[in-house]
Amino acid sequence: MNLLDKLEAAAAARKAVLPSALSAFGIPIDEVYSATEARIGDRKIILLGTNNYLGLTFAPECLQAAHEAIDKEGTGTTGSRMANGSYLGHRALEQEFADFYQCRASIVFTTGYQANLGTIGGLVNPGDVVLIDSDSHASIYDGCKLSGADIIRFRHNDVVDLEKRLRRLGDRSSSTLIIIEGIYSMLGDQAPLADIIKIKNDYNALLLLDEAHSLGVLGKTGQGLVEKTGLIKEVDFITGTFSKSLCSIGGYCVSNHPHLDFLRYISHPYIFTASPSPATIASTRAALKLLRNGEDLRQQLWGNAHRLYTTLRNIGYTLGPEPGPIIAIILDDPQQALKLWQGLLENNIYVNLILPPAAPDNNSLVRCSLNAAHTEEQIIYIEKIFTKLYT
């Protein structure tokens, strides 16, 4: 099989899952009106499938900061952080992240994907071990592959299973990095952080927590699961992204370990790419301030999340294990999921469609993501349509 044949085989495999579902992926958004509304074709739709948890995409403070940064510093840095791409804003944002988490230091990466690639790839090497939750995001898998370390999976959120796998490693457990997420993107459930920390301490391993979906969502000031549980000092490395609650693009790692800074010299995803643009950094800094002081936004977000989760469960839908901004409707087969997804779009509601093998346990998912800007009127309409489409 030559190189192009392999691509054709991969495309055929994707098509084989459900040929009629191909149009559901990468659907073009023609115009964005607000944090909750957009146009697809000639339809004005409610956005119920974004990661815009605090609804800050059009926050005036962020828009103004971005505009001013473009005017002052231009559209791009045209260079790596290691070369000409380390502006005042990049360094200030790193300090602000360190302050936010009350950690020793932080590193800003160009994307959230690269934050995991760069952190994991720098921390572990061939001969080390990474123990990852089976529902981990692709950036975690890819970071592990990049590292060359031995990759072992444990069953999703199963601390007994994690302990069993650490035990099997014997002495190698002390050169093991455990990787988990604050909120998992597929089912929207949270990691059992306290139990995992106890096990990692028992086996002298290190822990990396990806707060991509929990930043801004959990904790009084929005730090994530570490703040909700009060366990920040027990977590060795925290990664996250700017592309969800912070509404831009980029990523970070924070840590109290002085070794964090060494990643700047060895992490290829940090070194060999251009740094985030001035506008990106400026809007992220403005959004981080809003996030820290966004208790009212979190209250609104969780109010929306609890309400829709309860309604969908009462209608009879099978849902992910706990309420949260990500509400996954679990369906038995791809055809059912596609039908629900199409029904929602025909009624002007956009959600995410996730088909095997992307969804856990060979399920098909229709995934809703709520945000703080969804109005009661919109939620009532969404509930009405889900009721109508239930079979």
Partner 1 sequence: MSDSNYDEILQLLSERLASISTSGLAITPEMNLINQLAIDSIKLLNLIMEIEDTFDISVPVNALTDVQTVADLAKLIHRIKSSQ
Residue 258 contacts partner 1 per CB under 8 A:
no
Strands of the 150-154 sheet, one edge to the other = 105-109, 251-255, 237-241, 206-210, 176-181, 129-133, 150-154
Which of these ranges, 86-94, 165-173, 300-308, 378-386, lies near partner 1 under the rule CB under 8 A?
165-173
Which of 6, 72, 104, 164 touches partner 1 by CB under 8 A?
164
Residue 391 contacts partner 1 per CB under 8 A:
no
Which of 105, 152, 326, 340 touches partner 1 by CB under 8 A?
152
Beta-strand relationship, 105-109 and 251-255: antiparallel
The string of DSSP letters for 331-368 reads ESSHHHHHHHHHHHHHTTEE-EEE-TTSSGGG-EEEEE
C-beta closer to partner 1: residue 208 or 305: 208
C-beta closer to partner 1: residue 8 or 376: 8
SS3 call for 224: coil
Reference 140, options 159, 160, 154; nearest CA is 154
C-beta closer to partner 1: residue 68 or 128: 128
Residue 357 contacts partner 1 per CB under 8 A:
yes
Which DSSP helix (H) or strand (E) runs through 38? Answer: strand 37-40
Residue 74 contacts partner 1 per CB under 8 A:
no
Cα dihedral across residues 376, 378, 382, 384: positive or negative = positive
Alpha carbons 139 and 211: distance in angstroms, whole number: 13
C-beta closer to partner 1: residue 144 or 197: 144
Which of these ranges, 77-85, 162-170, 204-212, 343-351, lies near partner 1 under the rule CB under 8 A?
162-170
Residue 134 contacts partner 1 per CB under 8 A:
yes
Alpha carbons 321 and 134: distance in angstroms, whole number: 16
Q: Which long-range contacts (CB under 8 A, 24 or more apart) does 379-382 make?
A: 379/304, 379/307, 379/308, 381/46, 381/349, 382/46, 382/48, 382/308, 382/349
The CB-of-102 to partner 1 minimum distance in angstroms stands at 35
Which of 137, 165, 244, 285 touches partner 1 by CB under 8 A?
165
Which of these ranges, 44-52, 160-168, 230-238, 347-355, lies near partner 1 under the rule CB under 8 A?
160-168
Beta-strand relationship, 37-40 and 31-32: antiparallel
The CB-of-373 to partner 1 minimum distance in angstroms stands at 34
Residue 356 contacts partner 1 per CB under 8 A:
yes
Alpha carbons 85 and 213: distance in angstroms, whole number: 28
Tokens of 81: 């952080």
Show the site string, 362-381: x = touches partner 1 by CB under 8 A, - = not.
x-------------------
The CB-of-130 to partner 1 minimum distance in angstroms stands at 9
Residue 155 contacts partner 1 per CB under 8 A:
yes
Residue 333 contacts partner 1 per CB under 8 A:
no
Compute how many residues bind partner 1; rule: CB under 8 A.
Answer: 19
> CA-CA distances (angstroms) from residue 127 to 132, 162, 168, 312?
16, 19, 15, 47
The CB-of-171 to partner 1 minimum distance in angstroms stands at 13
Alpha carbons 209 and 240: distance in angstroms, whole number: 9
The CB-of-270 to partner 1 minimum distance in angstroms stands at 23
Upper half-sphere CA count for residue 103 (Cβ side, 13 Å): 32
Residue 145 contacts partner 1 per CB under 8 A:
yes
Residue 151 contacts partner 1 per CB under 8 A:
yes
Alpha carbons 239 and 254: distance in angstroms, whole number: 7
Residue 2 contacts partner 1 per CB under 8 A:
no
Task: Tell me which residues in 104-133 interact with partner 1 (CB under 8 A).
Answer: 129
Under a CB-based contact definition with an 8 Å cutoff, are residues 62 and 290 in contact?
yes
State the residues that interact with partner 1 by CB under 8 A: 13, 129, 134, 144-145, 148, 150-155, 164-165, 168-169, 356-357, 362
